[in-house]
Amino acid sequence: MIIIALSAVVYIWYKDKPALIFSVVTLISFLISYFGTPFIFDLDPGRVYRYVFWITNDVAWMAIIAYLGIKDKISINVSIVAQICVIPIVLIQLLRIVDIQILDIPFITLLYKTIIPLSNTLIVLLCLWPFLSYLIERVKLLFFKMSDVV
């Protein structure tokens, strides 16, 4: 969350409104999940509602990102890639509910512990992508200017 917040600050500084909007919406979604999780754990002895809460949060985030992409408030490419990154999270959480209630397969726990962090990392990288692209372009510009002098 700190990285996403810092990326939002950078986008304010560089006046990159689409990247700022994407980062802020993502940060809000992460904050809702982070601060809502302890309350859900207290209310969820059967270990079902927590997954419903997280799925609802992810689907709401996907809907907002899709809407903003369609309305050209954020890049449609970022919107599509972000949603593709989150679809495995939603599916694995649905599978986790079935696993806990019916199946109890250890392999699903391994998938859960692998796919969720990987997908969340990809979302954080998408928040950083415009800034990283800017840095890459600056390095290229510096490199080619130096090579022209030699």
Structure-token pair, residue 65 = 């990102």
- 129 burial via Cβ count (<10 Å: 0-12, 13-18, 19+): middle
Per-residue pLDDT of the chain (150 residues; tens, 9 = 90+): 899 999 999 999 989 999 999 999 999 999 999 999 999 999 988 788 999 999 999 999 999 999 999 999 999 999 999 999 999 999 999 998 888 878 778 888 888 899 999 999 999 999 999 999 888 888 888 877 765 554
φ and ψ at 133, to 5 degrees? -65, -40
Confidence at residue 148, expressed as pLDDT on a 0 to 100 scale: 54
Structure-token pair, residue 19 = 């990247």
Cβ distance 35 to 57 under 8 Å? no
- The pTM is what? 0.86
Measure the CA–CA gap between 147 and 104, rounded to whole angstroms: 60
Confidence at residue 147, expressed as pLDDT on a 0 to 100 scale: 55
